[in-house]
Structure 1
């Protein structure tokens, strides 16, 4: 059954089961307490983070940890302590991963509390804001424009209440709700006000059930994580037969003593496992969450950090993003000889009639006093799809009147002279509303045909001081910015032009856009600013851009942005935005600062670029380890390394450097095809390292003989492998900075220290014998480094990223 069908069935079922008594005052404190005792609470966990138990389980109970754990126990029993060091390294790394993710959890949870939806419930006759988890069965929950329905219920009060259920059913048209109608969690209010009685809470609510089945909330696709999973899957498949062949080779063919055979087999298997790759990816994401948390940025889905770094189009809603939420009435232009005092009384009455005014109406309320003498007899709430609101009054002296307040170009015919004045004001970046007198039913779409213009209300929008710099940042990063707004196109274009957005002066009225997706996509590629965009059009525009292969981020704060935010690759909501926008967005800017977006992009680029570097190091080791095992089996010789040797090499050329590289600043542009980008470097590097190391090993085997020959051969092979791996690190660390050069030099110095200090020589069983073979090993490593440089440049030219 499809999600839409299931949702519709659930709505019908809720309507059939609805038996919720209406109590205007809501529950009493005693009734709430009894329901809490019975567990009738909305105990759905936050989706911002996983539990401590899940964090520990996810970091400890992994496939590779299990393999390494078994090998570690074996080595602790049969081999010297030095050959068990790899196990202690894994324990330390896993501990670091748990600690970092726990820190990220604390950051996320604290921010989630700040940004959490706090619905208003009526208790003991008074409205009270409670956390979502504080709602109990039978609560009377109030609703207004932009509010999210957080639990299932039955409508108890409705005043022109319109609910959008598209996130559940896929149907974008709002549904008019009346007392007795069911409402489902996951829907949101687009117009009107009302209240509903909670009939299902917690995991019994419809959206919670779907969330548990991963059908309600779509997770952001993470190319990093899926790519790493793909790599690990293939590594596992290749590792098993290779490890088995190596074990047979060491135990059967050579007939060496059991303890040495076990040690050398384990020494060959352990480096095949890129055990630290998943760990450092998790650490990089966790550190990113912590850093962004300090900037009051709530990342509701961790891969969203990565996703925003890949974005090449940012769709911006003007109000609340480029402009601040507030507005000011700057002028009142009277039309057709209207009386100014009377018009002000009308505007005051309109403001007084709306219990949940939007930003424009709030400015009117501030400018004109309340009109308590007039009584509202009918109201039509504002809707972005309509472009206007309506109110009918009884004026107290036996007179009645009906009014519309909305967009002049929606309420008036194209040849009306009032539009000329409106256009001039819009070109100055001002927002203009038309007050028009009408007759007839307010909810009749044909009522606008008889609208008589009375006055123009001129509103000035406050530009965000940081918006210009943020737009300039995106332009510098080759990220296209598209402003899509429900306001007049000329006005939106003037605002965007003030902020320096190129092409803003050629604003497009979205009513002229083609409905067919390809044609719309072409128009979007050419245009920059679009006005009079309906909520459904915003969603269609996101889809049209995505059809051209673009990665789209959508920012917004209003209920008209919800559908587009949900469909965009990355949805970004302002903290002051509606409950619905915050619920569907992957990133919430709690401080309402548009200027935080560059920090999010930079953090994503740091994660992607650094993990690509780190993955190349880890997979180079995996490739050369597997190739060495294959060469050893084919040549019927003993495996050259003990676990302690490869623990030393891995620590100095991968483990320590990878930790610093994974967390370092990185402004490189995010590139797609993670697996291809990593493997195009790791394969040739691993091949060269394996060939050079095995060549040195065979050369040393011909030169050395007698007792201690194998130790001398191992030391020579270790020298070559270290030098080649160090050169791979030197390539990966580019472009150089002082600290990266210092990092590479420090790793080289640490290896020289091991070779120079007798105690460390004994501990790691490394002692270079004579000068001929060590210099030959060095020469082979130098030749391999030259070959690596050639291969690197060839790959850059011939194999696309």
Structure 2
């Protein structure tokens, strides 16, 4: 069947296109179409098994190096070294797999959204079928509360509206009608005679013909696009890949240099080969995978306490590295509940309403800030009574909790009664409804004829579009009120005009008598209280924020201005304008992104293209979303952020879920992400500087033709007893607040920046010189036995690394300004490392394995003070580091 724009066809032509009728398809026609079109199913995502999650823990360049080192150690029968490395790999895999398995979602949501029951007319009779059994041409009957099982062209309807937020992002229900639309090219949200799979009927009834199933639905097209999209890499993954490559070359280069020095010193080739392999194994920071995984796990745990749920561990740091946030509006920046904020009466008196959402909390105050009770002015009293009488919603306080049902606008209007200290029930008890005219988009109003119970007069209450109601008002005095309503609408408010009158008779359904305009109500989905401070914090932290939404341009801009994302009209662009500008010049999008901060009425494909363009321009971008329409953008982003109340599709596609749907929680996640990255740098600083110190000390021993300062097994013990404990302990360090006053690190900035290189070289140099100096002194001046001297130097190296781990608590702050309470784990780790080494000096089997012997307490004390020199040197460095060009302060 050739592609047609079904919304632009008449009901008769649509039915003819599918060779169907209001009596539905016959059984034989259904059988033929099942063979032709298949089931109404979306492709399911293969569930990630525990085996694959565990396997993924080994897919890292650093892990590859460690595996290779372990295999070489096995071949050389260095079983202790090999066993230790394999133990590290297993522990790392267990921790990482546990985190990812815990976060893995239970099922594929796209399938579940289609698997639902549908009432279908076949063979002239009504049947209840699974949604997956629908075929194009089926006649489907829907009513309020039903989920739409396929894309439908509406054939007939009554008071029909649907929530299409999962496709368009707009929270307000869309009025639907059966009439054909002349224009062919329309965005999904503007096709008023179509219903789309996955959306929900909020009011009324409809009969429609299925025009698209499975992958041909709007929902299915999004599912298909997800397969083709490349997921953005987390910043940590990119940086660690670069870091690992550099470390690999450095270690191999250092081993080559040591090999040449050893050969020059006269060491035999076989002995030299074994020694170089042992040095390579010890020099590789094998503790880094575990420490990194622990740091990310701690970051994930801290984020969870701030309503940020991590599905992929690398996203912890990724969120902290983002340079741009493309945020949704509804439910993220706003509360996702329509709320009346202003009432303007016929006499141009303005009333302000407090409270927000679908509840009766709050008050009404006049321009003199006086609270209004049920003794309100006649205009306000008439207006509130009218919107309660002309209303199909429900709002009740039951056992301390507010329960509501019906159209969101109707529910929001019922809240007015509670805010003047009465209730909808009390108002309704005083009247008798005689006739109702339901709201339809074609009429643009709803009306109720009623009678006060203590009067025989017939009255009418009307609410709807002010321009439509204005047609039934003969008096000219309301012109100023209409102008005021236009001003509120231009600022993003939804305007509901309210009118009424005493009438002589009940008119036909499409007619209205002369009316008196009581005023209008200005509603909006209000801003979350925390949103504006959160956006301000993003700006202070150097993170750009843009709003990308399917909502109305005026509403989007109003919220953007209020929250601080935009300041003037020029920063807004609609999806239609965007399509026009990029149609002939696709490259224009990059320039548009430099000046625009509000993108309204955008399609899912446009949102995905915006994200792609931001990535290509060098940004690490985080994208928020909750609907199926957001899934392509979430997958394309470096960090996809789904809202907790959103669809499972969005959650499955994302790497982070905000459980309370609040933009402020996302900003808290950025802060925790930066803290985590700071801790990762501290861990790397400790591991690389101490590893480099060991290599330098060995090189100096070879250069001066002295015995090796450490045995291979002692090198491994150093990595275990110091780095193996203290690097993990650094992951518990409390974050430094300065991180949120700094701009994000540049996307191409290496972990080893100017500061890291400087402090690594200085600390490694000092540690190695202190260790080698003692080694040289003991052997050449004091003439100690080699084993005794090595035992003493090894203890000094343990103490040096203990002290240095405290230096690593901050790259810039003095250790004397950092409270011990910021990291009790590190303090305990230092004591544990020192205690283990002292214990090993006295245990016979450890003495044999490590060639150790007890050390006198006065010797330990001398070594203790010698080791403290590293603290003095690094404190001086921190004092003067601000003078180093290019270093972050």
Query: Paired residue for 1:239?
Result: 251
| Residue matched to 1:658 | 727
Q: TM-score, normalised by structure 1?
A: 0.65
Q: 1:230 aligns with which of 208, 232, 242?
A: 242
Structure 1 residues 467 and 364, CA gap change in structure 2 (3 angstroms): same
Counterpart CA distance in 2 for 1:53 and 1:794 is: 46
**1:510 equivalent in structure 2:** 569
Q: By how many angstroms is 1:273 displaced?
A: 0.5
SS in 1 for 2:238: helix
- For residues 34-53 of structure 1, what are the structure 2 equivalents within 5 Å? 42-45=43-46, 51-53=52-54
Could you tell me whether the CA contact under 8 Å between 1:312 and 1:479 is conserved in 2? yes
Of 636, 641, 644 in structure 1, the residue corresponding to residue 710 of structure 2 is 641
Aligned positions of 1:216-295 closer than 5 A: 216-222=229-235, 224-244=236-256, 246=258, 254-255=266-267, 264-289=275-300, 292=303
| Helix, strand or coil at the partner of 2:710 | coil
- Hey, what's the Cα distance between the residues in 1 that align with 2:466 and 2:618? 40
Contact 2:534 2:663 in 1 (8 A): yes
Contact 1:239 1:626 in 2 (8 A): no
In structure 2, C-alpha distance between the alignment counterparts of 1:701 and 1:160, rounded to whole Å: 99
The answer to whether the 8 A contact 2:390-2:446 is kept is: no
- Please give the residue correspondences for 1:51-62 in structure 2 after superposition, counting only pairs within 5 Å: 51-55=52-56, 57-58=58-59, 62=63
* CA deviation string 1:242-298 (max 9, x = no partner): 33454576589645696x766644442222101222332233334444554576644
How big is the shift at 1:616?
0.6
2:480 maps to which of 409, 412, 417: 417
Post-superposition Cα deviations, 1:463-515, rounded to whole Å, max 9, x if no partner, equal 65765886787689787877888579799879997xxx7x79xx845367699
Instruction: Pick one of 764, 769, 788 that aligns with 1:691.
Output: 769
Decide whether aligned partners of structure 1 residues 288 and 50 sit closer, same or farther in structure 2, where only a CA change above 3 A counts.
Answer: farther
1:46 deviation in Å? Answer: 5.8
Q: How does 1:608-757 map to 2 (within 5 A)?
A: 608-670=677-739, 672=745, 673=749, 674-676=751-753, 677-703=755-781, 709-733=785-809, 734=815, 735-738=818-821, 739=824, 740-755=826-841
Give me the whole-angstrom Cα distance separating, in 1, the residues matched to 2:526 and 2:789.
74
- 1:545-560 equivalences under 5 Å are 555=624
Measured on the aligned residues, the alpha-carbon RMSD in Å equals 6.5
Q: Matches of 2:723 and 2:128 in 1, distance apart?
A: 56
Measured after TM superposition, the shift of residue 541 of structure 1 is 9.9
The 1-side partners of 2:632 and 2:406 are apart by: 22
Correspondent of 2:103 among 93, 108, 131: 108
Change (3 A) 1:128 1:659: farther
The 5-angstrom pairing of residues 578-617 of structure 1 reads 586-594=655-663, 596-597=665-666, 599-617=668-686
Structure 1 unmatched runs, 5+: 1-18, 150-156, 163-170, 380-389, 396-401, 409-414, 438-452, 525-529
1:797 maps to: 883
Structure 1 residue 656 displacement after superposition? 0.5
Displacement of 1:766: 2.6
In 2, Cα distance between the equivalents of 1:457 and 1:797?
61
Q: Is the 8 A contact 1:308 1:604 kept in 2?
A: yes
Stretch deviating more after TM superposition (512-521 or 647-656): 512-521
CA distance in 1, matches of 2:135, 2:547: 43
Q: Distance between the aligned counterparts of 1:462 and 1:58, measured in 2?
A: 46
User: 1:306 aligns to what?
Assistant: 317
Aligned-pair CA distance for 1:685: 1.9
Shift of residue 216, structure 1, vs aligned partner: 0.7
Once the 2 structures are TM-superposed, how far is the Cα of residue 458 of structure 1 from its aligned partner?
A: 3.1
Shift of 1:436: 12
CA pair 598-198 structure 1, distance change in 2 beyond 3 A:
same
Other structure's SS at 1:744 match? helix
Report 1:140-159 matches (<5 A). Answer: 141=150, 145-147=164-166
Q: Say whether the 8 Å CA contact 1:680–1:795 is kept in structure 2.
A: no
Q: Distance in 2 between matches of 1:115 and 1:796?
A: 52
C-alpha distance in 1 between matches for 2:267 and 2:781: 23
Following the alignment from structure 2 to structure 1, what is the Cα–Cα distance between the partners of residues 638 and 179? 33
Instruction: Kindly provide the CA deviation profile for residues 53-73 of structure 1, in whole angstroms up to 9, marking residues without a partner as x.
Output: 424543799322223312442
| Alignment TM-score, normalising by the size of structure 2 | 0.60
Task: Report Cα offsets for 1:643-682 as digits up to 9, x if no partner.
Answer: 2212222223211011122144324454624321533322
User: Do the aligned partners of residues 120 and 361 (structure 1) sit closer, same or farther apart at CA in structure 2, a change above 3 Å counting?
Assistant: farther
* Aligned residue number for residue 433 of structure 1: 495
Q: Do the aligned partners of residues 115 and 646 (structure 1) sit closer, same or farther apart at CA in structure 2, a change above 3 Å counting?
A: farther
Q: How many residues align?
A: 695
Conserved? CA contact 2:295–2:731, under 8 Å: yes
Counterpart in 2 of 1:382?
none
After superposition, give the CA deviation of every residue in 1:693-714 in whole Å (9 maximum; x if it has no partner): 3333333332466xx9432342
In the TM superposition, what are the counterparts of 1:84-99 in structure 2 within 5 Å? 84-99=79-94
- After superposition, the Cα gap between the structure-2 partners of 1:780 and 1:275, relative to the gap in structure 1 and judged at 3 Å, is same
The answer to whether the 8 Å contact 2:88/2:287 transfers is yes
2:164 is paired with a residue whose SS is coil
SS in 1 for 2:336: strand
CA distance in 1 between counterparts of 2:165 and 2:799 reads 62
Q: 1:510 to 1:304 in 2, by over 3 A?
A: farther
Matched, 1:765 2:784: no
